[in-house]
Structure 1
């Protein structure tokens, strides 16, 4: 057998299992609500792990370890910011959004929620939020396809183009077939695989270097400032890295998990499970990149691939240090991270196109079976566009993710947060917040002012726009306030 045969067999078994889960979910998918929100039936465990897996995309096993491998612990500020942001999102938004979406026309998507929450008869909110989802998620999907291509390229020696199609095919298949339930069930399996890989790998790397003390000594010899959390970081740099946490409030693929929980009473337990999983995974990813400095400094003859592209540090450590069968399982964790996030993003885009454009504007009386098949067709359309964006082999995973993350965080974060915390928010406030947030991110990204991550000015200016335009318009209607108060009362009873 060639070296890659065990890995290939492992990948095939893993992918086949995911597709089989997709077909199992097919049998439980009877209408559009089932296809795009799982019929609001997820328990605490599946809600927690599917939210975590859909959040922690390929950057967790590629982008973050790569950044630590290059710069040391000074890059870990991003992990600290993410933990804080995720915890606040679970605490402030998760339960409230679950209740508010049910009170607002049993909304299945964020655009649908905004439309009902703010009594938007003009449907401008639906159009704008749908466009924001499609633009930024198409970029986000491309990041997942790039990561999958890198994995197949380095593991099996495929050309970038072939690897790109191979990496995307399985995810498209089970998302197409099984919809939200398939995505959520596979996310749970994938989250388990990711935490296994990220806990095991740094431990093995450490022992391969002779133990903890020799590992730390080798890191210090290679990069004496690698232990300094503040090395090479300005105040602006640290704030920018920690500001990734702000993005959580506006990520549609994560918010959809909150909306799909079986009840608001499931949220507290889901929060605890999800945060334990997240902290363990982030700590493992940081350790992989950091301990990788030690291992490759003592094996410079094997460091060519990570020198060329540091985002391959986890891939190379798994390939070089583990039995090929175990390496296949570990590398499947990257595929799991890619597939879990990509599938969620494809589904949210499909939901926006189906529920918020096709049904809302073209076929108001379309039957449920028709809508499910339109949703499946939209999965294919978005996937093909994302593959087109990902076709440039020079793309970097973390760069694509950071742009999309900022776009959603600034455009949707403040509107979602204010909508569940302030009954005085209005349609004009929501529109202004989305527009200002999205435009600020795009403009700031191009200009790069002060080296500040674009999510910060986007989030701040979006929040100001919401308050100002809500106050200028005379305030929320009686109907909006009454609906808000009923939802808030239910959350207070059960949250």
Structure 2
């Protein structure tokens, strides 16, 4: 225990040092929210990926690999496609436009792009962010409590509160710069930890038996990419659900604010390869860890959840404890916390900017000076964080059988369904209107609870929608709503925004 606490103390000390150094660079609100638009590609790429992955990668995806076997690699395929499309096709036009509009938040971009005469888009986007960010952050706090409980033997609630206080402190001090720098540090830790574990585990296995043969002996369905059910439509639904998780990378504010912050277009050209390689290696490693854990710790006929925890989410803990000495195990505690906190900090800064700047200042108090706005932003961050902590603890008490994977995905899906269709259509369809954007956002926002709490409970089709989960159908309905409303209520088309590459685009 002492060794683990010492390592954890060093990790927390590094985060606090990052926050202190970053605070020296905060001279205005654009520094607090987007780092003055001076962040380099390594930091942006690692920050975007660390933010997009969160604790669900280390605990949720590893667990899914243990339960679903090879079919969990559809998560890798979906995420890789989502990240690649985002960085290769959307990031550059988005960066050019936000620079052109001098935007520092996503609602800034929407309002400038659609040349709005009302604040409706700001109100909707700020409200949606506040609600789903609280849900998503609460899921990460939940994972924090579980990590402290599993690795350090802390009471779940004590661990959740400790992790909450750590991340809140360095955000409070250093804002977005601290978030990005800490994400770079934490992203490197995640990468090294995920890459090392399956390699070490592989060499500790007795290779007198073929691993694939051993998995077949446990359950032949584990080695099929096409699912573990006898129902073909259930397998198809599950694969769609896994693969469509990557849709969330096509415009989610906590990811796209990184493109606003990057120094120039040239940095995106370099950063995209870092992001794609990071995604491929870490996601594939997470699923592989789960599969190896299933091979190591279960036998034919056993209920995997009885051995590996609810949805297999104890598999990482068991693998680390089995493969490494105490000191390395302690480092993995910090790695798991890195994955969690890199998401919590980013979400809180984005949500704080939405409430403080996009809602309160832009609509009610345009005369509010930078100092007062900065103070209010920190107070809003604190308030939202406390609310998320309350939600996490409440869910833990009400639903002790909850899963990390799907709890996180619900919040992630809400943000994605609300914002990603609008982001895609605004960048690539010049006829898209403000009314269409409002229709997309409201439909995407409302579809998530509709599919989760109504459609999934229907007899017959409900189980298939449960396997698909809420993101894909909510995404589709938001697209359709935006298209129909734009066609029904057209306005003067916005001039095409797909600006061709400029030979001097790297200068900045």
TM-score when scaled to structure 1?
0.93
SS of 1:38's partner is helix
2:114 aligned with 1:118: yes
Taking only aligned residues, the RMSD between alpha carbons, in angstroms, comes to 2.1
Q: CA contact under 8 A between 1:206 and 1:212: conserved in structure 2?
A: no
Where structure 1 has 5 or more consecutive residues not aligned to the other structure, the ranges are none
Deviations 1:44-96 (A, max 9, x none): 11111111111111011000011111221122212211111111111221111
Deviations 1:253-294 (A, max 9, x none): 111111111011211110001111111101110111000012
1:125-164 map, 5 Å:
125-164=121-160
CA–CA distance in structure 1, aligned partners of residues 89 and 270 of structure 2:
15
CA–CA distance in structure 1, aligned partners of residues 406 and 11 of structure 2:
28
Deviation at 1:405, TM superposition (A): 2.0
- The residue aligned with 1:77 is 74
Deviation at 1:490, TM superposition (A): 6.3
- The residue aligned with 2:32 is 35
1:396-435 map, 5 Å:
396-435=403-442
2:273 aligned with 1:272: yes
CA–CA distance in structure 2, aligned partners of residues 212 and 122 of structure 1:
69
2:481 aligned with 1:457: no
Structure 1 pair 5–303 and aligned structure 2 pair: CA distance change class (3 A)? farther
CA–CA distance in structure 2, aligned partners of residues 167 and 212 of structure 1:
43
1:151-230 map, 5 Å:
151-211=147-207, 214-230=210-226
- The residue aligned with 1:340 is 342
CA–CA distance in structure 1, aligned partners of residues 208 and 85 of structure 2:
34
1:436 to 443, 446, 466: 443
- The residue aligned with 2:459 is none
- The residue aligned with 2:491 is 475
Task: Give the total of aligned pairs.
Answer: 485
Structure 1 pair 454–347 and aligned structure 2 pair: CA distance change class (3 A)? same
1:363 to 362, 365, 383: 365
Moved more, 312-321 or 118-127: 312-321
Moved more, 456-465 or 145-154: 456-465
Deviation at 1:375, TM superposition (A): 1.4
Q: CA contact under 8 A between 1:411 and 1:437: conserved in structure 2?
A: yes
Q: CA contact under 8 A between 2:201 and 2:323: conserved in structure 1?
A: yes
2:103 aligned with 1:101: no
CA–CA distance in structure 1, aligned partners of residues 323 and 248 of structure 2:
35
2:238 aligned with 1:237: yes
Deviation at 1:465, TM superposition (A): 2.1
CA–CA distance in structure 1, aligned partners of residues 146 and 344 of structure 2:
15
Structure 1 pair 305–369 and aligned structure 2 pair: CA distance change class (3 A)? farther
TM-score when scaled to structure 2?
0.91
